[in-house]
A and B are shown apart, each in its own frame.
Chain A
């Protein structure tokens, strides 16, 4: 039995151990990111869900200035605190659009009155269709979309207070 054959199992084991050590050191990111970064927002046209809030369509996102699109829902627990951070961003002049996933008008109105309303428009996505077409996999998520309607950045999970500078800079870059 040649030396190559005899030592091959050991070499293979080494490669496997290295891969496993790498994986233990850099834990898998279980979030599935949208691949739309750098690509235009797919065309959509969502109905309004609240009487005093305009509906949202992809055309609204190609208006010439960058937008922050926030995918949320009234039944989403982390969204409660996330909305406060969105208020802060709104205060800094960021146009925030909302896509409400699987929501009822009454529940949504209640959510907004309790937690604040940073949204300019809210579209109702009652069967997650636009969420899926955007490559989003849960709530809350946010997309930075530039003035031409191209997706520039995706934030999975709530925007924390500490993320605000980063989001602002992404919005700057999207001008």
Chain B
């Protein structure tokens, strides 16, 4: 029964009984005044995974910690930091799990090679189906 409630609460993306009484951080729900910086921040937030509602990015999550992380991202971008540096800082603390964009580390190479590999395998399997000789 308790498990069911937990699942339901997780599904609704709002863990009701674990909320603080302080208001959200200033920059968690406000856009940066500079549109280019806001676009950079938004793009980065879409790629950082929420630690509480783990099926969503911090841009789409209602969790408090996600709000605080959005605030962190926006403040740093406003201070001039590059999105990749912020991502690296977060990965340093939480591991690659926190980034929805697979990194360039060796563990992720098969992912990026997969499309090409699949294309080649498929083309090879179907090689005899199409006659490449012009005019038959």
Interface residues of A (CB under 8 A from B): 5, 30, 32-36, 73, 75-77, 101-104, 107, 126-129, 131-135, 137-139
Secondary structure at the A interface, as helix, strand, loop or mixed, is loop
Chain A residue numbers with a CB within 8 Å of B97 are 32
Chain A residue numbers with a CB within 8 Å of B21 are 75, 102, 104, 107
Choose from B18, B92, B95 the contact partner of A33 (Cβ within 8 Å). Answer: B95
Closest to A107 in B: B21
Q: In this assembly, does B25 line the interface, its C-beta being within 8 Å of a C-beta of chain A?
A: yes
**Taking A103-B20, A103-B22 as contacts, is the C-beta distance between A128 and B93 under 8 angstroms?**
no
Closest to A126 in B: B22
Chain A residue numbers with a CB within 8 Å of B32 are none
Closest to A76 in B: B18
**Taking A132-B68, A138-B65 as contacts, is the C-beta distance between A32 and B22 under 8 angstroms?**
no
Interchain CB contact under 8 A, A102 and B51:
no
29 chain-A/chain-B pairs, Cβ below 8 angstroms: A30-B54, A32-B51, A32-B94, A32-B95, A33-B95, A34-B93, A35-B93, A36-B93, A75-B20, A101-B20, A102-B21, A102-B64, A104-B21, A107-B21, A127-B25, A127-B68, A128-B25, A128-B64, A128-B69, A129-B68, A129-B72, A132-B65, A132-B68, A132-B69, A133-B93, A135-B94, A137-B51, A137-B65, A138-B51
Q: How far is it, in angstroms, between the C-alpha of A69 and the C-alpha of B97 when the chains are bound?
A: 24
Closest to A128 in B: B68
